[in-house]
Every structure is written in C-alpha cells, then in structure tokens.
A and B are shown apart, each in its own frame.
Chain A
Amino acid sequence: GQQLNQSPQSMFIQEGEDVSMNCTSSSIFNTWLWYKQDPGEGPVLLIALYKAGELTSNGRLTAQFGITRKDSFLNISASIPSDVGIYFCAGSAWYNNNDMRFGAGTRLTVKP
C-alpha cells in the first residue's frame, strides 16, 4: 500500500511555542486526517481535509491539504502542556478502497 512519511519523529518544545509537523506520500490522497493519541487511549480526530489546498483550523490547530495532494501539515500555535501526545496523519485514496493508512506519528513533549 501507499507509504506515509511523517516528520519529525519527536519534538521537545517549551510551553507557548508553535509546532509544525507534516506528512508526505509518493501517491495522491483524497482525504487527509490528523489524529491525537494519548497513552492507552484511541486516536481522537482533530482535523479532516478533503480538497487540495484546503486550510482548516480547529482552535489553536491548523492543517492544510497540499496542492499536489501528496502532503499535509499540522500546526499547533501557543502550545500548552495538554498538547502532549502522539500526533498521527492518516490518508485515504479511492484506488485503495479508501482504506485509511497512518503515518508513523510525531511524539510531542511540552515542557512547562
């Protein structure tokens, strides 16, 4: 199946700083999603993107669907301690039965 390359693998930041992470693929996607997962819990959907170029915000979070349809980024502004967790990008494509595939995740640590 298609590979999603997510970076960075981990980030250590100070409270109040902005964060940026991204996902790329060698194939195009119809849908990009961003999830956050806390330890021992299931992933929680943060933002869903459906159109190339689409820019969507959810509070302090902003995500974009790349123009080429092969990438997406997630920004978190003014980070707070509860932003700690693992962030996953996920994508689906019509040519793969719209199955959702996940990036490897970005582990975010926020120091108070």
Chain B
Amino acid sequence: DTEVTQTPKHLVMGMTNKKSLKCEQHMGHRAMYWYKQKAKKPPELMFVYSYEKLSINESVPSRFSPECPNSSLLNLHLHALQPEDSALYLCASSQDSEKLFFGSGTQLSVL
C-alpha cells in the first residue's frame, strides 16, 4: 500500500466556519507534511511532523492548526480562514525525508 489518503476531496467553507482536513498513511512513514498549493504554483511547505512531533512550522498563520494524533494520521484544523486561503492542500509522507509521497489533495474554497 503506497497510498496517502486525504479527505474530503473538496471543501467549501465560510470565513466563520471551523473545518478539518484529514490525512492517513499506512506505509509506516515517520514524517508527515502539509503543503499548500495555489493554482499554477508549486507546493509550499506549511508543517512537518517527525515521529508525531511538530518539527517545522513555516510561519503559517494561527488560523491553521495541525495535529498528529498518531503515526498514521495527520489533521489540519481550519478556523476563520480568509478567501486568499483558497487553495489545494496536500498531505505527504516520507520515511527518510528523501522521497515524498503525496495524497490527491483537498481543494478548499473559502467564501
């Protein structure tokens, strides 16, 4: 199983809503990542969890709150987002930081 599974596939939310993005991998990878990707741009790193501990936070606004409940799961909690936060949110995992395996992403629209 080489899959990283992300849910939901699409999400539309208002600026006052609270929602969560979910990611799951069963490859035994030690690191999990959140990336944000705007249209026609490369993915931008948001957060890295290594051995279930937050190791990197790329100065992401506090309205994005990551959580790693266990080694297979990664969540991204969203609250009071802005329209400019609309993007494709990608989860990835890796065993050795040398190869990232991506999920298919959540397309988020903030109205």
Contact = CB atoms under 8 A, between A and B. Distances in A.
Contacts of A41: 104-105
Contacts of A11: none
Interface of B: 4, 6, 40-43, 45, 48, 55-56, 88, 90, 92, 97-105, 107
Contact of B42 (A48, A99, A105): A105
A92 B43 CA distance: 14
Given A97-B56, A99-B48, A99-B56, A42 B42 contact: no
B107 A40 contact: yes
A78 interface: no
Given A31-B99, A33-B99, 10 more contacts: A30-B98, A40-B104, A41-B104, A42-B4, A42-B90, A43-B43, A44-B102, A45-B101, A99-B48, A99-B56
Nearest to A31: B98
A33 B92 CA distance: 14
Contacts of A65: none
A100 interface: yes
A42 B56 contact: no
Contacts of B101: 45
Contacts of A97: 55-56, 97
Interface string A56-83: 0000000000000000000000000000
A45 B90 contact: no
A96 B100 CA distance: 16
23 contacts: A31-B99, A33-B99, A33-B100, A35-B102, A40-B104, A40-B105, A40-B107, A41-B104, A42-B103, A42-B104, A42-B105, A43-B43, A45-B99, A45-B100, A50-B98, A88-B42, A90-B100, A97-B55, A98-B97, A99-B97, A103-B42, A104-B41, A105-B41
Contact of B98 (A42, A44, A48, A104): A48
